[in-house]
Structure 1
Amino acid sequence: MDLVEQFSTDLFRLDGKVAIITGGASGLGQYYSKALIKSGVKVMVASFDEKGLDELKKFANENGSEIGFINRDVTAKNAAKDIVAATIEKFGQLDILINNAGIQIRNKWDEFKDEDWQKVIDINLTATYHLAHEAALVMAKSGGGKIINIGSMQSYRAGKFIFPYTASKHGVMGLTKAYADALASENIQVNVLAPGYIDTPMTKALQEDNERNTEILSHIPAGHWADPSELMGAIVFLASPASNYITGVTLPVDGGYLLR
């Protein structure tokens, strides 16, 4: 049988896999969790609070899956080790890591506080490094895996009021390339998912600012802010065997925003 005949949409299935998703019970993280759950994954949510957890547990139960939860600030000492260890203890394996936890702080350049810079870098970049490292140690021993880091349009562009966020998301792209190169021989693919402008409660202020909303929409060929569900197919693709020959890539899901 040749490779074409072997091809199947089952390559997009993830039955029996286990994933860690930081911040996976609320915001965009909940959509990543739901997408993987519907694809057959058991999910360990790592978060500093339980917001959205009950809803996600109900969703998992309705879809024949299971949720684990570990209450951790991803920037805490040994957090990455604890999160990975808790996942192995509960599910016995780790196949997918989604580094979703993140924060954004806005201010004028001459009023930005050093502590705010450090807070953003610690959550968005340093925690991503530590979790990728700990996950890769497990995945290398088990024959492979997928690490998906969450980027942003600010992985490509400037942000004159959010410099630590922009720096961190540029850093995530670079870190991903380095890990992708280092881990390819271990059959671990490392990629970035970069959401565009998504319709969430966090972006309501931008959407309600007529001038800024008009400016943003003028840059989106698709003509609308994305519904969060429009990220679900991309996260499943990057987590699945269908993307096994893709590594070190940043995938924008932006309605064409970066084209203009």
Structure 2
Amino acid sequence: MLRILAIALTLCASICATALPNGLSSLPERQPFTSDFFFRQLFDEESSTYSYLLADLKTGEAVIIDPVLEQAKRDAQLVKELGFKLKYAINTHMHADHITGSGWLRELTGCQSMIAAASGAKADLYLREGDRIEFGSHVIDVLATPGHTNGCMSYVIKEQACVFTGDTVLIRGCGRTDFQEGSSEFLYENVHTKIFILPENYRIYPAHDYKGQLESSVWEEKRYNPRLTKDLEEFIQIMDNLNLSYPNKIDVSLPANRECGVYDIPKE
């Protein structure tokens, strides 16, 4: 009787596995955030920018990744309401489509601004490959992932199984490489040697999304990214023929972003 039951259970498992769609059957298990980790994804509608407020719920120390100037008051108010102490305002790179909110948040909250040393922008603290950003008991590992710009950084939190990729990897896309020292070859190499080697269940949180998607994963982008799944030669050809329009705010954003990680900016 037990042998018959075992056979039946085995057959049932086999049938169920066969019935699953191919993607679902191999989708890696999602790792939940730890109980002491706070995560809040914020959005700026004009630039379609995601900012990320992260905090240690035991100590109250917090950081924000890719803040936007027009949302600095909102973000500072949220930090205050939640009882956090903002330690760092961190940029993934020197943005061309909006002005960073790190300078204003520095004034509003007393935090320090951070950006890559290779970015050419001013900040309180400069980041390089291998640096570690600490807030409470949590640690962000810094990866240099240039290609969209010279100063692009990706930020990995191993304990939470996630990576903040800026414009380097977008959801089913990537940052353009036709201005700001862009290099299709460097972007491709850095994605494949630094981001795509992360565990496949790592969540990817980009700096932008224009279709309302909130997150992706290493597993998804390795399989379904229409650009980064190609070989290098085809990828370069795709990037050379995107024919994208000139960013609307680049002539305002770049000069401001070189300065306002440190200096005060107009409040209104």
- Pairwise TM-score range, normalised by the shorter structure: 0.3 to 0.5
Structure having the larger proportion of residues in helix: 1
Greater radius of gyration (CA) = 2
